[in-house]
Structures are given as structure tokens and as C-alpha cells.
Chain A
């Protein structure tokens, strides 16, 4: 359930607090809290004035010079009758008070089937021997559009920064992503909020618009998103990309368009998107200018034409009917497909949609891969899996199941400093990542953010490499389902992986006649 007023317990330990000892000497928590939880009284003493507004971002605790603040979940203090939890009670109060449903940032809460119950099978004596991570080579490169485009994208690692729009993200966060991608040779996607000019040179590793000062090697790739709201889209925008992504849906709100609340629409964003300052930008849920698959093919055709047949075309799918949807994307002419799962991240979505709509990421992969195989394009049309990816281990598992790479949305935010407080929709991100407030944005330095993102990607890529080699491969495209085992029946049932101990796939996955895995 969403973060709720009163979900957290804020404690200032008086024995440590500098302000308690010397009123007026320190007010760090008052300054850093974006939700005005702390106040200063007439005598200069800090007090908790709005206990209920805390979202649990922990920036006060982090900045407190004397470690005097503790933020604990308040839920455990209450015993509530099943199936009620404290946030659910609060959610009803919210609706009763405002007459509106709840919005939420960041993503899904609670449990959904994940990669956790899958284990990696290492090499031993009976299989190809393991390879040596320290002294042997391993290919991690993924090439998109190799035989269809003049300028294919050569990702150094099988990892991407998926679409995260300027508007949902701050300018500084967008710049950090570009700098991070430039240092690692991967791609960053503009999302549906239009293009920031700075991104176009930062992504190539240049510090200046004239492109004379190159600071970051090897340079990355920028993919521009063509979406249902078409914010800031023009011929120049489409041509600014090293690839164009056609957004059909996303995991956090499949079947709905992008949400950008008025609170975040400042002058700069209003200018890029062409809307009034402070107005909500709610993208349509479908393309007004596409009515069927034929139209989608024509859209791909003119996008290729506008970009002179140089750059790859991506599709971005929400988690619905992966087999049929992936097939349709291939028919429409995709060079790569990103498919986002139930738990995919978001800047702002209706809470019930984020929480309860769509197929979990792990269950999307088998049908999506099957569709590519049935179309004869597996490993040629690249498949990127998004939604809840956290590490090289998750990435490895997705790739062994047949994906070509994975994307990190929330994980990238966390790498920039996010503490998963789930309040991105408020526009008050304490770390300046999903905020448009100049004071909060100043907390994120794009160069430092870029460095942290690059570090995260490099470390993650090392994990992928290590896992690939210990399972006896020197190329990520050689990974297969044989490198994985499901650790419980449920996971074996939904993925078709062999079950540990049983060492076989569950019988219905072996049945040629079944239609379970193609639907």
C-alpha cells in the first residue's frame, strides 16, 4: 500500500541532538525535510511539528550531524484486524476525506512472483568447465539493429536505462543518466517528456554544446521515445536519437497513458511539453493516430524514413499478453522490444493500477521469448526485460531465460541516491531526483549522479560476467534455461524452468499440445 501519513515514527534523540543542547546552533533536519515535519519554535528549539507528514525518506537521519534522528515504520505499533493493515486503514481515510483515489510514485509494494526463487546452475565436471573471470574473456556486448540499420546501437553491456521522462525526473537526474550512460557505453531513454538539449551532448561524453571537451569515454546512446502524448516531439526530436522507441505501455500503468501532475510542471517542463505551467499532463492511453497493426507498421515506416533508415526502432510494452504482444511488435517492424512487468517503476500512477494490474516480470519472459522463437527472430530482435531488476543476478536470470538484456529504472534512481520513499508523485523528492523544486534539485549533482550510475552499471556488469563464466560461457548470448533451476513449484510452473531436485520441467511444459505457453 502507498506511503501514508503517519506510517512512520520520527524520533529525535534529545541526548544527541545539538539543537537541544544549544538551541539555534543546528536546524539541519528542518532544512532538509521536504515535508516540513520539523519546526523551530520561538526559542530556536527544533520540534516535530507534523509527525504525520513523514514519508520515510530518511534524508534527515542521513544529514543530521550527530545521528540524533530515528525513522521507524509505525505499523508495528498497531495490532489491526486481518486483513487490514495500517496503511490500508489510512488509505480509506484518505479517500473518505478527499473523494479521490490515491496516486503513488516509485512502484508496486509487497510481494509479487520474482526471480528470487530461481537459482543459477554453475559448471562442474559433467558440463563445460567454468571460465576464469580474472584471466579470460567474456562477451557482454549487445548489438541492436545490426542487419536493419545503418547505425546499429552497440551496447557495451546488456544493461539499459529505460524510459524515464523529464518531468517525472528532474533535469539533474536526466543529466546524470546521460553521463552514466556515456561512461559505460549503454543507452538512456528520454521517456515521453521530450528532450533536454544538454542530454544530446552529455550522452556522447561531451561536457559542452560545441562538443570540443570530451570528458567521458566511451560515450553512450540516446533513445527518444515516441509516445501517446507526444510531448515535445518534432522531426528534430526524432532525429536527435540513436534510436526511436514507440511506447505502447509500461508496467506500472498498463492500459493507461503517462501521468505528470501539475505540481511538477514548472516553466521549463511546460516549455518542453508545450502545456500551461502547473497543468496536469495526462497522456492518452492509446495512440489517436494508430487504429490497428497496419497503422503501426506505417508508423514504423515513416519513423524509419524520417531518420533516414539509420537508427533502430524499439517498442516498449506493458505486461499484458506477452506472446501476442511481442509477435505484433515484430510484425510491426521492431528491432528491439522492451517489456515491462507488473512491478515496474513509475513517476506517478494510480495506486490500484500499480499494485494490481499486469503480469509479473518473471512470468513475461517465457512467452515473450517463445514469440520471438516462433517468429524466427530470437536474438535478432532484441528483448529487454524491465520491472524490478536489481542486480547482475536478476539480469543473468532474465538473460538465461532468453532476454538479451535488462533495464534498471528504480535501481538507477536508487543509484542516484533515492531511498525508495515512494513519494515521487508529490514532486518533493528529498534527493532531487523526481522533484522540480530548485532547492531539492540542487541536492543532486549530475556529475556525481553520473559517476554513481556508472559505478552501479560497471559493478552489475561484472556480476553478469562472473555468473556467465562460472556457468561455463564466454558470451551472454549462449546463456540458456539450462543454466537455471526453479526452487519452488510455483516458479517452475510459471517459468517452465526445471525444478530443483526433480531436475525436469513440470510435465505440462513438456506437452507439445498445450497452448499454455503461447497465450
Chain B
């Protein structure tokens, strides 16, 4: 039996206080959270199910909690997450999983533009399509796009892997198409099994960085000969 919290028409602070108490006791189901932004921020553990849609910044700074959304998620889902799992049954808006250091995000539907920007270690899996500018300046982690991607995918990638099942409109700077290895296939198979995703790892392509240091060239110091003093 899970506890229920009704968030409709309430402010973040009051819902948050109630949630903190409820989560300590067991799994919690939240209703009416579509217009509440920044809900369930920075939890280290706990389990919540959002019935229906969520607002923006859901699970921001999440550090170990498990969040499931039965509807669609708003913008900036699981922003700056460091641990835990966030699963969305529907679509997610702009900027899924930006600035994350760890944890896993699974979106069963589509995700918006600027997803996985500056991802620094999270695993982000989008079962549908993603928008433009996805994985800009990604520094680590895995991004799996089962569907298609938009423009400028992986712009200024530094590290980490982008796996794409479908097509992309264009790749960003500093990207390189690399052969899938056996390890990649195993990893994808693992993700797909774990999150019940029907996809064939064999059709995926892998995008990695071209250079780890794309911004400034290493410079030789300027040395001019000078007479001995």
C-alpha cells in the first residue's frame, strides 16, 4: 500500500514537507503535480509515482530516489541529477537530464531539444525521438536514442557515447562515428532488457568525440634567443 499525496493547487513548500515525511515511510503516489515545478528535488532515497503529468524541474538534483511518471514530464526533467532513476511513460519536454553526474533517465516517448546537455555521467535513454542540439558539450555518460535525432547532435562532445537507433539531421562539431563494439552491444542489450525496451542493438550507431580537447590548441611557449647577460 502506498501513501497518496494530492498536490493540486498547493505550493511547493507545503507539498515538499508532506512528501519528505511520506517518503520516509514507503512509496508515495502523487496526484495533481502538473503545475508544480521543482518537485521532489534533491532526495537521497525514496520512491514516488507521479500519476499523470509533471511540471518542470521534476527530480532536480535527485541523488538516489526513484521517480516514475505515468504521464508526460515537463521541461528540465531530472536536471543536475547525481543518482537514482527517473522513468517517464509518456513524453518529456525540453532539456531532459541536463548537467547530470549520474543516475538513469528513461523516457518511453519523445524528448525535446537540448536533452542531455552537459551530461557528465548519467545514462539517458529515450525510446522515441529527440529534438535539436541534443548532448551539447556532453562530458561523460551514455545517451541512447532509439528513434531519430534533430540537428547538431553531440555538438562539442568531450566524452561519453551517443547511441542512435534511427537517423539524425546533422552532427555537431567534434563528433566521430565509431564502429559499435561487442561491449557496446552488450551494454545496449542490458539497458533494453532492464527497462523493457523493444529494440535491436545491432541497428544502432555510435557517436563519440573527435578530440578530448577541442577548444584550445596546446601552444609552444614563444622562445626567442637572447644574448647571454
Q: A residues engaging B (CB < 8 A)?
A: 5-6, 10-12, 41, 47-53, 94, 97-98, 100, 229-230, 233-236, 238-239, 261-262, 274-276, 278-280, 282, 284, 288-289, 291, 295, 298-299, 301-302, 304-306, 309
Contacts and interface: CB of A to CB of B under 8 A. Distances in A.
**Which secondary structure dominates where chain B touches chain A?**
loop
Contact of A305 (B16, B212, B229): B16
B136 to A, nearest CB: 8
Contact of B76 (A229, A289, A309): A289
A137 B99 CA distance: 49
Contact of A234 (B80, B212, B221): B80
Nearest to A93: B222
B41 A233 contact: no
A229 B118 contact: yes
Contact of A53 (B16, B62, B80, B223): B223
A276 B212 contact: yes
A441 to B, nearest CB: 21
Nearest to B95: A289
B172 to A, nearest CB: 14
A234 B13 contact: no
21 contacts: A6-B224, A48-B228, A48-B229, A49-B226, A53-B221, A94-B222, A97-B222, A234-B82, A234-B101, A235-B44, A235-B62, A238-B42, A274-B120, A288-B95, A289-B98, A295-B56, A302-B37, A302-B60, A302-B61, A305-B16, A305-B38
Given A51-B229, A230-B99, A284-B118, A275 B158 contact: yes
Contact of B114 (A229, A233, A288): A288
Contacts of A5: 222, 224
Given A50-B226, A238-B61, A280 B140 contact: no
A288 B41 contact: no
Contact of B229 (A12, A239, A276, A302): A12
Interface string B187-229: 0000000000000000000000000110111110111101011
A47 B229 CA distance: 6
B111 interface: no
Contact of B61 (A10, A53, A234, A298): A234
- Those 6 A-B pairs whose CB atoms lie nearest each other, nearest first: A302-B38, A235-B42, A306-B42, A234-B82, A235-B61, A48-B229
B163 interface: no
Given A230-B99, A288-B114, A302 B224 contact: no
B139 A230 contact: no
B63 interface: yes
A136 to B, nearest CB: 44
Contacts of A261: 216
B12 A301 contact: yes
Contact of B215 (A10, A47, A233, A280): A280
A274 B137 contact: no
Interface in B7-34: 12-13, 16
A305 B76 CA distance: 17
B38 A284 contact: no
Interface in B115-133: 117-118, 120-121
B79 interface: yes
A302 B99 contact: no
A503 B62 CA distance: 59
Given A5-B222, A276-B159, 13 more contacts: A12-B229, A48-B228, A49-B226, A52-B224, A233-B80, A233-B99, A234-B101, A274-B101, A274-B140, A289-B95, A298-B37, A302-B57, A306-B61
Contacts of B114: 288
Given A5-B224, A235-B61, A288-B99, A230 B118 contact: yes
Contacts of A12: 229
